[in-house]
Amino acid sequence: MVKAYPQFRSSYSHEEMVEHFLLTPAELQLVLTCRGDANRCGMALLLKTISHLGYVPDPMPQIPEEVRKASIPARTSGASARPIRWELIEQQYDEMVKATVAVKRDTATSEAILKRYNSYNVTHPTYKAFAEVGKAEKTIFLCDYLVSREVQREVHEGLNVVENWNATNDFICYGRQGELATNSREQQEVVTLSLQLLQNCVVLINTLLVERTIEREGLWERLTTEDLRALTPLFHGHINPYGQFALDLARPSFLEAP
């Protein structure tokens, strides 16, 4: 006999919403430790969905809207409890368009415009309007992130690339935990340029290794889109940064064309 997984009901009473989907104080504290509104909302949905169903539905849009509203905290760290001030955006619309066109046509720089906005003792109203537009854009992105698996994958792929790059940088520049230990501008430039040179060397060597391995094993035709998306030259597990290195100058380098 095949048992079906538990599913969300079409509707819940107010008492049921409070019992099953309202965050407890301990859960709220855990949610607030997450960085960014998207991560906080995602953590809140995961906590209440797993406790209610025992699993996370795929795709996420299967979570009813009323469950989302009950689970996501009304106010999290760094989030505003008030609505977006659309009237301020409407009042400053012409000024925002002028500033945007000036930056687009290179008749003014972003730094010059921001300097003008911040030259007053109080925050410039156009600057406030831009901030409200930013909140609207952030809200739209957050909604897209919560309901779209593709957006979630794109965001996490980008984060993985950044994390891999940072891990590789830490591996290469391991001395003094990667910190610049001097105030000398010349020494800082030497360290930075040396790091960039070694980064390029690692990426070049790893790219050649991956290409030749795929060709030798005859895997090009078998790789799917997901496989190609997962390929990266940002790995260093095969590199030994310590110890002695034996160099055979009479042996041709594997970097040379066959």
Token pair listed for 110: 């972003």
Confidence grade of residue 101 (pLDDT, cut at 50, 70, 90): very high
165 or 197, higher pLDDT: 197
What pLDDT shows up at residue 228?
Answer: 80
Least confident of 76-80, 150-154, 208-212: 76-80
Token pair listed for 177: 């935990």
Answer yes or no: is pLDDT of 247 > 80.
Answer: no
Write down the mean pLDDT value for the chain.
Answer: 77
What pLDDT shows up at residue 203?
Answer: 87
What pLDDT shows up at residue 39?
Answer: 76
**pTM higher than 0.75 for the full model?**
no
Residue-wise pLDDT for 126-169, tens only, equals 888 888 898 889 888 888 888 888 888 778 877 777 777 778 87
Q: What's the N-to-C CA distance of the chain in angstroms? A: 60
168 or 89, higher pLDDT: 89
163 or 200, higher pLDDT: 200
Residue-wise pLDDT for 13-55, tens only, equals 766 666 677 777 777 777 777 777 777 777 777 777 777 677 7
Answer yes or no: is pLDDT of 58 > 70.
Answer: no
What pLDDT shows up at residue 1?
Answer: 40
137 or 78, higher pLDDT: 137
Least confident of 103-117, 132-146, 164-178: 164-178
